[in-house]
Amino acid sequence: MAFLPVKEQLEIIKRGTVEIVPEEELVLKLEKSFKLNTPLRIKLGCDPTRPDLHLGHSVILRKMRQFQDLGHHCILIIGDFTGMIGDPSGANKTRPSLTKEDVRENGKTYFEQASKILDPQKTEIVYNADWLGNMKFEDVIRLASKFTVARMIERDDFTKRYESNEPISLHEFLYPLAQGQDSVHLRSDVELGGSDQKFNLLVGRQLQREDGQDPQVCLMMPLLVGTDGTHKMSKSYDNYIGLDEDANNMYGKSLSIPDQLIYDYFELVTDVPLEELPVLKQKAETDPRNAKHDLALAITELYYGKEAAIKAREHFEQTVIKKEIPDDIPEFSFAAGEQIRLIQLITSIKFAPSNGESRRLIQQGGVSIDGETVSDINAEISIDAETSFVLKVGKRKFGKITGK
């Protein structure tokens, strides 16, 4: 296939990037690729320990997709080797070491979810245990000798953990080396990563250089700030919008981001054309309400299509703005003749994790039946064949209770 002119490719590639190190080398690589009509080898590593992808992951995956669309060769590394050992970074808890099967399984799940963004046909999947697992201790020592401790601990997250007296295990120093070794093995031209990966990506450059290769270009994407507006999007902060979230949730959660993030989201997680971005930036400042709805729609549309996205918008307006009952709510049937305490009913359909919690919800006015707030903790419900009412618990848990 024919490649786009280098200048046009660059424009697409640079969208949203934090840093490209070094950009001149990327230009050279693109020029060479164009001349020889050979695709660049783009590398992206993933951690298969938690295969629940969210919009934060999508930032980098989308960048990968852009490379695919430009005709380059994309390689997704499933980090099964590191996953088996259990990367303890960022935590002082030992993570459970996964078995080989677990990791392969997770890797599969990861790829399935990533396929919502990547073109699976054009993605090469590799497992790094295939080469890292064969290294001898001697090889590891030789690799380790290429880095000094001072260089390692100057890495930002190590420095922070060191200063706050948090433990750093020795093997964590080996992770960047392992990742760099991946680049050597795959002879990558470009490695993608979050801006927190800079150090690791740079290690790849050094190791490739020592191996006599043309070092990879490191392309860093910003870390997407989560719905709380402060931390990077991640499952552990519970500020994420999952890729397999249903359309309604995706829409609603997208609306809950703080206003100042609207533009970033447009740039990083939607497909709005480059030339429209400045307009949207303007709109995000002058008309945040509508800009945010546009954003929510754009995000939802990307994963569920236009029709579903519009439905999600309607659902949101109905339930949140007009505070009406949505059309499609789950139904829970109880045997006719049954007498059940409301508290237990709420717990039994998992609208609350414990009876204590249900009780609290009622006490706080968070429970209503057909729009009437229930304040009696001891309320009992008699079910008969005719029973049918809508139970609302908290802001957005609706259920239709019926008798059978």
Partner RNA sequence: GGGGAGAUUCCAGAGCGGCCAAAUGGGGCAGACUGUAAAUCUGUUGUCUUACGACUUCGCAGGUUCGAAUCCUGCUCUCCCCA
For residue 58, the number of C-alpha atoms closer than 13 Å in the C-beta half-sphere is 25
Q: Binder to RNA among 84, 359, 398, 399 (CB under 7 A)?
A: 359
Q: Binder to RNA among 192, 347, 391, 399 (CB under 7 A)?
A: 347
3-state secondary structure of 349: coil
| Other CB atoms within 10 Å distance of the CB of residue 395 | 11
Q: Binder to RNA among 1, 36, 150, 321 (CB under 7 A)?
A: 321
The least distance separating RNA from the CB of residue 234, rounded to whole angstroms, comes to 12
Residues in region 368-397 near RNA by CB under 7 A:
377-378, 394-397
Contact call for residue 86 and RNA (CB under 7 A): no
**Within its chain, how far is the Cα of 321 from the centroid?**
28
The least distance separating RNA from the CB of residue 227, rounded to whole angstroms, comes to 7
The least distance separating RNA from the CB of residue 346, rounded to whole angstroms, comes to 11
Residues 330, 248: Cα–Cα separation, whole Å = 14
Contact call for residue 282 and RNA (CB under 7 A): no
Contact call for residue 89 and RNA (CB under 7 A): no
The least distance separating RNA from the CB of residue 395, rounded to whole angstroms, comes to 4
Answer yes or no: are the C-beta atoms of 220 and 195 closer than 8 Å: yes
Residues in region 170-209 near RNA by CB under 7 A:
none
Residues in region 35-64 near RNA by CB under 7 A:
none
The radius of gyration of the chain from alpha carbons, rounded to an integer in Å, stands at 25
Contact call for residue 400 and RNA (CB under 7 A): no
- Taking CB under 7 A as the binding criterion, the range among 55-63, 116-124, 248-256, 275-283 that sits at the site for RNA is 248-256
- Taking CB under 7 A as the binding criterion, the range among 57-65, 124-132, 159-167, 275-283 that sits at the site for RNA is 159-167
Q: Binder to RNA among 139, 210, 238, 328 (CB under 7 A)?
A: 238
Q: Binder to RNA among 224, 361, 383, 391 (CB under 7 A)?
A: 361
Q: Token pair 């970074």 is at which residue?
A: 89
Q: Binder to RNA among 228, 264, 314, 338 (CB under 7 A)?
A: 228
**End-to-end CA, the chain:** 62
Distances (CA, A) of 293 to 1, 229, 250, 251, 289: 38, 17, 12, 8, 6
**What residue ranges bind RNA (CB under 7 A)?**
92, 162, 165-168, 227-229, 238-239, 248-249, 251-253, 255-256, 258-259, 288-289, 292, 316, 320-321, 341, 343-344, 347, 353-357, 359-361, 364-366, 377-378, 394-397
